[in-house]
Amino acid sequence: MRKLSLPRMITMTLLGCLALSACVPSPAGPEPAGELPNISRWPLEIEETFESGAGNGFSLFSESYGQQDQSGGNLCLILTEPQRYNWAVQGDWTDYAVDAVITSLSEGASGGLVYRTAQAEASLYAFEINGQGEYRIARLDPGTPNGLTPAAPGWAPIVDWTKSREIKTGLERNQLTVIAAGEEFWFFINRQPVTSLQDDRLSYGGAGVLVQSGETVPASACFDDFKVFLSLKSH
C-alpha cells in the first residue's frame, strides 16, 4: 500500500472529521475555520532533523534567561528562570503548515509550536501542550508603551487549557501540526484534528518551537522532525 505524505494524511483526516461534524469547537469557543485548503499540494520548504548540529537557521528570542541545545539530535529549549517563555524560529511567510514532534517536556513546563512570529515585536501565535494532557492556543501581543516603563508583550488566550485524549503524557512523543491560511487555522495532535478557529490579528511571520516554564527550573522542551510546508500563495 502506498504511504501517504503528511499533508495528504492531514487533509484526508480533517475532511473526514468535518464531514462528521466532530471538529467544530463548542459554541462558546472562537469562530471555527472554514474549508481546509488542499495542503497536499503545498511543497516542503523546510525539513530539519537536527542531526549533526544542523538547524542553525533558527533564531532564539532571548539568550538572557534561556538557551538552545542541539547536541543530542534534537532541538532543546532550556529556561533557567521560572515563569518565563522562549522560542526559536526561522522564516517569514503568510500561509503555511508547520509540524514538529515534542520528544520530551520537563515537569511543570509547557511547549509546542509558534507561527506568524515577528521577533522584533515579540508577537506570535502559540499552540502548546503540557504534562497534564492539555493543549492551549494563545496569541502574544506586542506591548503597548505607557511612557513610564518598557512595553511588555502579553498573552491573550484564544483557546484556554483544554484536555485532549490525543495527547500522550509521560515520556511519550507528541506530534503537533498547525495549518495557517489567511485568518483561518487548523490544529492537530498526533495527526488527529483537535480544533479550528479564526483570528485576524497576525497575518505573517516565522515558524518555530516554544517552551514556557512554571515554578520549577530549569525547564525544557525538546523537538525533532521540524517541517514547514509553504502554501503556493506564499511562493
Q: How far apart are CA 117 and CA 228, in angstroms?
A: 14
Q: What is the CATH number of the domain that holds 40?
A: 2.60.120.560
Answer whether residue 32 is part of any domain.
yes
Residues of the chain with pLDDT under 70: 1-5, 9-28, 52-55, 143-152, 234-235
Check the CA dihedral 233-191-127-107 and report its sign: negative
Answer whether residue 147 is part of any domain.
yes
Is the bond into 218 cis (omega within 30 degrees of 0)?
A: yes
pLDDT for 26 equals 42
Q: Which domain covers residue 92, as residue numbers? A: 6-234
The count of domains in the chain is: 1
- What residue has cell string 509558534? 114
Answer whether residue 72 is part of any domain.
yes
Strands 219-230 and 123-130: unpaired
For 116-158, what is each residue's pLDDT tens digit?
Answer: 999 888 899 999 999 999 999 999 988 655 555 555 678 999 9
Answer whether residue 45 is part of any domain.
yes
Answer whether residue 1 is part of any domain.
no
Say what the pTM is. Answer: 0.86
Report whether 196 contacts 15 (CB < 8 A): no
Q: How far apart are CA 77 and CA 26, in angstroms?
A: 33
CA 232-49-162 angle, 5° bins: 75
User: Residue 216, exposed/middle/buried by CB under 10 A (0-12, 13-18, 19+)?
Assistant: exposed
Answer whether residue 33 is part of any domain.
yes
pLDDT for 72 equals 83
CA 51-167-11 angle, 5° bins: 75
Answer whether residue 88 is part of any domain.
yes
